[in-house]
Amino acid sequence: ARMARTLVELFYDVVSPYSWLGFEVLCRYQHIWNIDLCFRPAFLGGIMQATGNKPPAMLPKRAEYMVKDVKRMAKYYQVPVKISEDDFQHVFGTSTLGAMRFITAVDMTQPQYLEPLSREFWLRFWSQHEDISQPENMLAVAGQAGVSSELAQKLLEMISSPAVKNRLKETTEEAIKYGAFGMPAVVAHFNGEPHLFFGSDRLELLGSVIGE
């Protein structure tokens, strides 16, 4: 008999390049491992604020390392993240709150688009360096992900609704309850307890813990 499937939750924000790497790797493994992958769009800013964490790029030496690290990982995992030290200014200057609310609205109403839509946001932000906080860019992302323009317009209107704002806030708080202090935060529910893994470079450990 097949073992029960392990629920693996991925808490992510498209502002995080490491979240993109973790997302793509887990998207591949969900077809190989005996897991149910659940995408949990959350807000990294909220997690940072609640835990007193700071973006790695705030520390010059760490920023320098991060550029090399992300480039190496992008090449290794074949994910088209493009990063240079100049990008940090652009990242700090862009809020992904609107984008994460848009993704949350999709999660609540059209979850079948969640994977392609999230990927498209990362592509725009980390490959094409576009400002994804602009409504026209959100609509363009939705179109690329296969969402009709009529539906995309509805989703855009939803981002200012209390339901969407609360859902994003709740998901973010849930990540913090699991012990998250940054992103990606991967939580595997195994043997009746949650196991938190931080970052995109702990996924072989995740596999080991859940017997994969």
The reply to whether 149 belongs to the active site is no
Pairing of strands 35-41, 6-12: parallel
- Going from the C-alpha of 100 to that of each of 103, 106, 124, 188, 194, the distances in angstroms are 5, 10, 14, 22, 24
Catalytic residue among 16, 19, 118, 200: 16
Two tokens, residue 182: 């940054």
Q: Which residues contact 28 (CB under 8 A, 6 or more apart)?
A: none
Torsion angle defined by CA atoms of residues 117, 118, 124 and 125, in that order, rounded to the nearest 10 degrees: 160
Catalogue the active-site residues.
Answer: 16
